[in-house]
A = this chain, B = another copy of it.
Amino acid sequence: MTDRYASFVQSAAGRALVKRLGLPDPPRLRRHHPGDPLLAGPALLGSATGGRLAEPVAEILTAAGVELADPAADAAADTPQRYGALLFDATGITDSTVLRQLYDFFHPQARAVLPSGRVIVLGTPPGECATPREATAQRALEGLVRSIGKEFGRGITAQLVYVTRAESATRTSLESTLRFLLSGRSAYVSGQVIRVGAGAASAPTDWDRPLDGQVVLVTGAARGIGAALAKVLARDGAQVVALDVPAAGDALAAVANEIGGTAVQLDLTAPDAPTRLADHLASRHGRVDVVVHNAGITRDKTLGRMDADRWDQVIDVNLSSQERINDVLLERELIPAGGRIVAVSSIAGIAGNRGQTNYATSKAGVIGLVDSLAPVLRERDISVNAVAPGFIETRLTARIPLVVREAGRRMNSLAQGGLPVDVAETIGWLAWPASGAVSGNVVRVCGQSLLGA
């Protein structure tokens, strides 16, 4: 369950050996602890001519206690300045002939970003652009950001954030996403394209408790990612309803006790499970603000050797049961306005995987659930998103044979596997009341894995 090589590499003796032998060098990632500043150094904010976001972004950064660098002063200084983040408002780029402004901003700073620093490019969603030329230039940003993610190294992540032009969008719409991406919460998220719309978002009183008072259901909460999730959500202020199958009852009770939440033992595939769950939530809490569909199973076999039960179980647990629960909770209006649904997909659902036709089908379906439900639930002010974990260090991945495990672990821009907490922090962000403008997204938590489609 641990990456011993990474621990070794990060020790003094390990570092010396890695340098001498040219071994892979997984950096120690900056992770979030309550009270941490958002960044380890000042942020440098640039803007293409005519951009519309530099001002609100500067306001958000200042409000969040981030020091904004003064490039003129830095250029005049004796020692080169190093930055915790580079942010560039690219919304002014309306034609490929002015993409050069990206180069002009990033080229001189390519080696000035601190370890575990952040690169964020902000653009206009191509679908909202006024002309094909503008849409083309805005779409081009993705190639830059994904390349920077692969190039900068040292735990630095790079993201593209498309921000709607809709007039109803406010500074608050964007704030939760910037705070998440800059902070150590997004340690294992890189190379992602995130769309921020105009959904209603309410800022918390305390950004260290962004889920204060929220009732959050977590399925599959007894172990692994689900247990990490329950803890992260409780740390951030949520009242957690931790659910798992009766067989995992002891582990589940331990998680619930540790975080002061409640435990629900339920087999989600039972025909009456959605109703029983809805009854429980209605009687105990009167609502559920956030539903996290984390429960999932694998039953791997190649298709020719797979028995029908393996197919049926995986589809039912990972996909159909999510649909049944959503339908009942929505029909009974137990998810109020401002509610959140977050589902767990997988890189396998994006790229497919040998031996996982059942799992990949179910996890691709989860993406379809997000795509199709998000527009429908927008009018009820409920967001729907998914995370797609890559290689995460859990009990399950610890069982993978060494060579395959090492390949899975290192084949990403951060040269290491993620931790359950990394998935949990990402789900947490999507669950915040402040994240109402983020809906219909599938965010990979994969360290920018090479794998994809």
Q: How far is the CB of A120 from chain B (nearest CB, A)?
A: 15
Known: A107-B306, A110-B303, A452-B452. A145 touches B352 (CB 8 A): yes
Contacts of A424-446 to chain B: CB distance below 8 A: none
Majority secondary structure of chain A interface residues (helix, strand, loop or mixed): helix
Q: Which residues of B contact A137 (CB under 8 A)?
A: 365, 368
Known: A146-B351, A191-B352, A304-B107. A96 touches B323 (CB 8 A): yes
Cα of A5 to Cα of B389 in the assembled complex, Å: 35
In the complex, residue of chain B having the shortest beta-carbon distance to the beta carbon of A376: B132
Q: How far is the CB of A311 from chain B (nearest CB, A)?
A: 4
A139 pairs with B372, CB closer than 8 A: yes
Cα of A136 to Cα of B362 in the assembled complex, Å: 9
Q: Which residues of B contact A367 (CB under 8 A)?
A: 139
A146 pairs with B360, CB closer than 8 A: yes
Q: Which residues of B contact A126 (CB under 8 A)?
A: 368, 371-372
User: Of B149, B304, B319, which contacts A140 at CB under 8 A?
Assistant: B319
B149 pairs with A352, CB closer than 8 A: yes
Cα of A151 to Cα of B453 in the assembled complex, Å: 15
The segment from A45-53, A97-105, A272-280, A391-399 found at the interface with B is: A97-105
B96 pairs with A349, CB closer than 8 A: no
> Is A144 an interface residue when CB atoms closer than 8 A count as contact?
yes
Q: How many copies does the complex hold?
A: 2
Cα of A150 to Cα of B191 in the assembled complex, Å: 24
Cα of A107 to Cα of B304 in the assembled complex, Å: 5
Contacts of A125-180 to chain B: CB distance below 8 A: 126, 129, 131-133, 135-151
In the complex, residue of chain B having the shortest beta-carbon distance to the beta carbon of A360: B143
Contacts of A66-91 to chain B: CB distance below 8 A: none
B135 pairs with A371, CB closer than 8 A: yes
User: Of B139, B354, B376, B452, which contacts A151 at CB under 8 A?
Assistant: B354
> Is A62 an interface residue when CB atoms closer than 8 A count as contact?
no
B376 pairs with A144, CB closer than 8 A: no
A136 pairs with B354, CB closer than 8 A: no
Q: How far is the CB of A335 from chain B (nearest CB, A)?
A: 15
Q: Which residues of B contact A354 (CB under 8 A)?
A: 147, 150-151
- Which residues of A are interface residues toward B (Cβ below 8 A)? 96-97, 99-100, 102-104, 106-107, 110-111, 126, 129, 131-133, 135-151, 191, 302-304, 306, 308, 311-312, 315-316, 319-320, 323, 348-369, 371-373, 376, 450-453
